[in-house]
Amino acid sequence: MGDIMPSMNDSSTILITGAAGFIGSRYVRTVAEDHPDWTIRVLDLLTYSGNMANLDELADDITFIHGDIADVDVVDAAMQGCNAVVNFAAESHVDRSLIDSRPFIHTNVEGVQVLLDAAMRHDIDRFLHISTDEVYGDLAPTAPSSLESDRFDPRSPYAASKAAAEHLVQAANYSHGLNTVMTRGSNTYGPRQYPEKIIPLFVTNTLEGRPMPIYGDGSAVRDYMHVDDHCRGIDLVLQKGQAGGVYNLGARMEITAKAVAELVVEILDGDPSMIQFVKDRPAHDMRYSVDSSAAEALGWTQTCTFEDGLRRTVQWYVENEAWWKSIRQGGDFAAWESKQYANSGK
């Protein structure tokens, strides 16, 4: 395999797994807009956070396959004739992993190995795996941002499953010569995010006049990146990243959970008393921050400030009430909320 991805042309086919989810569906849009000659094939099991409505506007641009990335036969059929694979499929909510970690092992570890095995059988030109900044673990308040070479220190079952998947991807590159690249993204926000995550939870709770629950004292720091910037970074790494390489993607915009809640209240002219501090979750990492210099060296830049991106995101939820209300009124969300009220998300 070469150092970078062989050029895609108008006969190239890309398989995007987890494509009905939040970031995956936005990446499908990125490919459809920026690479109109590519054939787009998508695979999704449509678990609770997968939503076909996220792909409605793209129905004419894609071939949809319903299935599990841990199903060998489904994956084999989906990957037939593909040139590249981008894997978004994952169980991704920390709080759910603390309740039951088994689905995280099934999808995030076993499923990734099934994809890798198929990629080697089908001689895929490039395999891009989407990972997370959570593999680095908790950073001290004054510690420098994490580099790709820093050691892993995952502290939740979710983070541990993603770290395990990364080792499998690297092993496929080292041992079998599969042309792999990986991205480790920071917290991502934007339209169509399942409302158990912190920003859509705060926004939709405020719109419904419900409390905004915040773990502990609200001092946990995250680096929030708009989904549009995240997907442009992923696409750049797919095309220009070095084989075997790993690339952090972060916005360099660290902010506390409390400050996020206060900004949501300001944007929606809400009631500050609805911000409620609740019991912290186990082993809550207090800070994530990544150094994105390697991706920036490829030409990636962030175009969206947090305040501007948050205002646009809030406006999307205001204008698309039917989308999020159908989720919040559904059985899965209601069951999760009743079991773990005051969950502010990752």
Catalytic residues: 133-134, 158
* Amino acid, single-letter form, for residue 101: S
DSSP class of residue 287 equals B
DSSP-based three-state secondary structure for 108: helix
CA 269 – CA 209 distance, rounded (Å): 11
Helix (H) / strand (E) element for 28: namely helix 22-34
CA 329 – CA 327 distance, rounded (Å): 5
CA 30 – CA 38 distance, rounded (Å): 11
CA 52 – CA 60 distance, rounded (Å): 13
Q: How many alpha carbons lie under 13 Å from residue 282 in its C-beta half-sphere? A: 10
CA 270 – CA 275 distance, rounded (Å): 10
CA 40 – CA 15 distance, rounded (Å): 6
Whether 154 contacts 101, CB under 8 Å:
no
